[in-house]
């Protein structure tokens, strides 16, 4: 019932049996006056091992200030915090752990509502998965983008421009001194998400597009005063959502997810969002598939001139109108009847949206590209599908046929040795890097460019992998190949010299080998030994689904999972297409 606090039963002064809980709150200095208010959780994954979250202590204080002002009782709590660069393994495997951590904290505590702070690649999806599952009134407060940097008179940003300089260094174009200047002179100048539309800014933008963050707040730069004001406004608003009993299930509908995919396409956002949106949607009871992304990409123009597919940084996009401005231009394509955490529909939110720079947010009738720049490809090399970001690819390589070479090591010196003989016409196969094989699908899609080709000026080749790619990268790279090699997908049986054909425009990816030979190789294939047999990583290997299913755990999305676990295990055979 709206206005009825679910925390009352835990701290009601009229029940003497609440002495223990009330007493523990008193031990922290809280009073009867405080305990009369609805309890609002502030989920704050602040960590000095996460530079994207370095400013979250300030933001958490501002959220609590807003909650107090609106009549709530804020209680702050931590969870694990994920930054890709500080882990020795792909943090995708910890997205599910963070979701479980967050979900259990929200579900088991006497919280009437919750504000969740997050910025980085896996943190926002983990929190959305959790809040969708628990379904208490909830809001996302993003940490915003890093400021733009400046180098030799140009606006630059970490990640995309860092990759560019790295390739130039490996290609002999620049030396050690300039690489040192790149590091020191403005690429890494503030906290917040890397300043391009990579995965971190993509997931922040999608939080707003889904209606889980206040309009206009997703990409406010991390160090701006407006970011702190947005935090306080979020604290005020969550109390209203609790009073109205407005829950994630009222917001996370199929039209909301389709809106989010359209924003993803319109912004040229990260391919990692394909995996994350599927996982988030299925937690909310919405069955998104790869075909939804393919269909929506065809009908949604790419209109946002932001790196890595455009020219400017996310800070500049914010000044041009931000995510709200992009959605305003996409308005004819969106379902604007959806509800948002503002307490109003998307249509009402868009009434005040302003687009300030038409070179950055382009008109629908003058886009940067006619479609969203993402294709789903299938064939005998990817029976269950794979993803290619055509907007980041070389047009001349979107239809390409060439002999396969297999990445044996990801170290650059090994690539240079193993690939000394190849030309730009070869097709690089980077396998055993999927959810199980790596494990965790590291962002190693661009692997395989040898220095001798870089020195010739070659910056792209067709590369095929069951890994992911950083949203800050570019290239003609087929990603998320499913089934992955490590569970017997056809990528496992490609041999050196096999001819491979990519036709992205037709949505085709095929190994040009006789079908009987393919079946012979699959029958002879043997699964590798598990890399982990204990602990959380072993749970990941046992339970993770494939990329087209969002890489969530089977026990979260299969309702009869426990019954299946009590039946005899089937004989292990190579995995083939679901068809």
Give the least confident one: 84-93, 256-265, 347-356, 423-432: 84-93
What integer is the mean pLDDT of 432-438? 96
Residue with tokens 């079946």: 519
106-118 burial, b at 16+ Cβ within 10 Å, e below that, comes to beeebbbbbbbbb
> What is residue 239's predicted lDDT score, i.e. its pLDDT?
98
Strand pairing report for 73-77 and 399-406 = unpaired
pLDDT, tens digit, for every residue of 21-72? 899 999 999 999 999 999 999 999 998 888 888 899 999 999 999 999 999 9
Q: Are 186 and 148 in contact (CB under 8 A)?
A: no
> What is residue 562's predicted lDDT score, i.e. its pLDDT?
54
Angle in degrees, CA 500, 501, 506, rounded to 5: 155
CA distance 392 to 368: 12
Q: Are 64 and 235 in contact (CB under 8 A)?
A: yes
Q: Are 58 and 117 in contact (CB under 8 A)?
A: no
| pLDDT surpassing 60 at residue 186 | yes
User: Where residue 474 falls among pLDDT bands split at 50, 70, 90?
Assistant: confident
Sign of the C-alpha dihedral, residues 108, 440, 470, 501? negative
Question: Using CB atoms within 10 A of its CB, is residue 3 exposed (0-12), middle (13-18) or buried (19+)?
Answer: exposed
CA distance 552 to 276: 9
Specify the length of the chain in residues. 579
| Maximum mean pLDDT: which of 44-53, 265-274, 335-344 | 335-344
Determine the longest span between alpha carbons in the chain, in angstroms.
80
> What is residue 5's predicted lDDT score, i.e. its pLDDT?
76
Give, in order, the Cα–Cα distances in Å from 239 to each of 34, 41, 138, 216, 408: 14, 11, 10, 20, 55
> What is residue 498's predicted lDDT score, i.e. its pLDDT?
98
User: Where residue 202 falls among pLDDT bands split at 50, 70, 90?
Assistant: very high
For the residues of 397-433, what is the DSSP string, one character each?
GSEEEEEEEE----SHHHHHHHTTT--TTSEEEE-S-
CA distance 81 to 66: 24
User: Where residue 160 falls among pLDDT bands split at 50, 70, 90?
Assistant: low
pLDDT, tens digit, for every residue of 527-562? 999 999 999 999 999 999 999 999 999 998 876 655
End-to-end CA distance of the chain: 46
CA distance 72 to 239: 6
List the alpha helices (DSSP H) in 388-514. Answer: 412-418, 451-455
Region of residue 379 (left: phi > 0; alpha: psi -120 to 50; beta: else):
left
List, in sequence order, every beta strand (DSSP E) within 440-548: 462-465, 477-482, 499-503, 508-511
Strand pairing report for 113-118 and 138-142 = parallel
Kindly report whether the peptide bond that precedes residue 439 is cis, defined as omega within 30 degrees of 0: yes
CA distance 312 to 306: 5
Q: The tokens of 144 are what?
A: 């915003």
Beta bridge partners of 339: 345
The sheet carrying 138-142 orders its strands as 73-77, 39-43, 113-118, 138-142
| pLDDT surpassing 90 at residue 192 | no
Instruction: Quote the mean pLDDT of the chain.
Output: 91
How many other CB atoms are found less than 10 A from the CB of residue 578? 11
> What is residue 132's predicted lDDT score, i.e. its pLDDT?
97
pLDDT, tens digit, for every residue of 502-531? 999 999 999 999 999 999 999 999 999 999
In the chain, what are the domains?
37-146+193-350 (3.40.50.2300), 149-184 (no CATH), 375-407+423-444+457-524 (3.50.30.80)
> What is residue 579's predicted lDDT score, i.e. its pLDDT?
34
* Position with higher pLDDT, 231 vs 191: 231
Q: The tokens of 403 are what?
A: 């002999």
Query: What is the DSSP-derived secondary structure letter of residue 528?
Result: P
Q: The tokens of 571 are what?
A: 């004989």
Region of residue 363 (left: phi > 0; alpha: psi -120 to 50; beta: else):
beta
User: Where residue 572 falls among pLDDT bands split at 50, 70, 90?
Assistant: very low
Residue with tokens 């065809």: 298
| pLDDT surpassing 70 at residue 354 | yes
Residues in CB range of 382: below 8 A, 6 or more apart: 478, 481, 482, 489, 490, 491, 509
CA distance 392 to 476: 7
How crowded is the C-beta side of 321, counted as CA atoms within 13 Å? 25
| pLDDT surpassing 50 at residue 405 | yes
Query: What is the DSSP-derived secondary structure letter of residue 55?
Result: T
| pLDDT surpassing 60 at residue 218 | yes
For the residues of 353-378, what is the DSSP string, one character each?
-----TTTB--TTS-SBSS-S-EEEE
> What is residue 15's predicted lDDT score, i.e. its pLDDT?
85
Give the least confident one: 16-30, 126-140, 157-171, 404-418: 157-171
pLDDT, tens digit, for every residue of 366-397? 999 999 989 999 999 999 999 999 988 999 99
| pLDDT surpassing 80 at residue 290 | yes
Residue from 280, 312, 311 nearest 209 by CA? 280
């Amino acid at each position: 019932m709206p206005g009825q606090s679910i925390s009352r039963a835990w701290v009601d002064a009229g029940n003497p049996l609440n002495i223990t809980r009330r007493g523990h709150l008193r031990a922290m200095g809280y009073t009867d006056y405080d305990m009369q208010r609805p309890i609002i959780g502030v989920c704050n994954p602040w960590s000095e091992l996460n530079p994207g979250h370095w400013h979250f202590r300030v933001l958490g204080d501002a959220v609590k200030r807003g909650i107090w002002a609106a009549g709530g009782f804020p209680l702050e709590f931590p969870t694990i915090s994920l930054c890709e660069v500080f882990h020795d393994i792909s943090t995708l495997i910890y997205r599910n752990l963070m979701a479980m951590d967050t979900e259990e904290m929200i579900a088991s505590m006497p919280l009437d509502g919750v504000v969740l702070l997050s910025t980085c690649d896996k943190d926002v999806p983990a929190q959305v998965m959790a809040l969708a599952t628990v379904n208490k009134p909830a809001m996302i407060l993003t940490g915003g983008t890093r400021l733009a940097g400046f180098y030799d008179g140009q606006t630059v940003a970490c990640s995309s421009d860092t990759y560019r300089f790295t390739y130039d260094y490996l290609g002999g174009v620049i030396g050690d001194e300039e690489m040192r200047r790149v590091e020191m002179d403005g690429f890494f100048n503030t906290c917040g998400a890397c300043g391009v539309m990579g995965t971190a800014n993509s997931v922040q933008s999608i939080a707003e597009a889904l209606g889980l963050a206040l309009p206009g707040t997703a990409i406010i730069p991390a160090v701006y005063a407006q970011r702190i004001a947005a935090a306080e406004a979020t604290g005020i608003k969550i109390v209203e959502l609790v009073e109205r009993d407005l829950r994630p299930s009222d917001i996370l509908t199929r039209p909301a997810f389709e809106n989010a995919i359209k924003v993803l396409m319109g912004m040229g956002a990260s391919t990692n969002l394909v995996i994350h949106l599927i996982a988030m949607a299925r937690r909310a009871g919405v069955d998104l598939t790869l075909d939804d992304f393919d269909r929506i990409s065809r009908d949604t123009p790419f209109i946002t001139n932001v790196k890595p597919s455009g020219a400017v940084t996310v800070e500049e996009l914010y000044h041009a109108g931000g995510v709200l401005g992009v959605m305003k231009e996409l308005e004819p394509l969106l379902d604007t009847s959806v509800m948002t955490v503002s307490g109003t529909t998307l249509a009402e939110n868009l009434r005040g949206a302003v687009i300030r720079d038409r070179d950055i947010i382009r008109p629908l009738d003058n886009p940067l590209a006619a479609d969203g720049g993402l294709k789903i490809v299938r064939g005998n090399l990817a029976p269950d599908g794979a993803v290619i970001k055509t907007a980041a690819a070389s047009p001349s390589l979107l239809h390409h046929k060439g002999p396969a070479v297999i990445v044996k090591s990801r170290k650059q010196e090994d690539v240079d040795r193993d690939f000394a003989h190849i030309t730009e016409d070869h097709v690089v196969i980077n396998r055993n890097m999927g959810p199980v094989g790596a494990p965790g699908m590291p962002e190693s899609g661009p692997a395989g460019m040898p220095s001798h080709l870089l020195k010739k000026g070659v910056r792209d080749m067709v590369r095929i992998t069951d890994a992911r790619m950083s949203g800050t990268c570019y290239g003609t790279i087929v990603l998320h190949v499913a089934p992955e090699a490590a569970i017997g997908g056809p990528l496992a049986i490609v041999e050196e010299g096999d001819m491979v054909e990519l036709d992205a425009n037709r949505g085709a990816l095929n190994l040009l080998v006789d079908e009987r030979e393919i079946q012979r190789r699959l029958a002879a294939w043997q699964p590798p030994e598990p890399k982990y047999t204990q602990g959380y990583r072993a749970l990941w290997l046992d339970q993770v689904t494939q990329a087209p299913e969002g890489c969530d755990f089977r026990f979260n999305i299969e309702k009869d999972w426990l019954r299946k676990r009590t039946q005899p295990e089937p004989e292990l055979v190579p995995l083939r297409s679901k068809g």
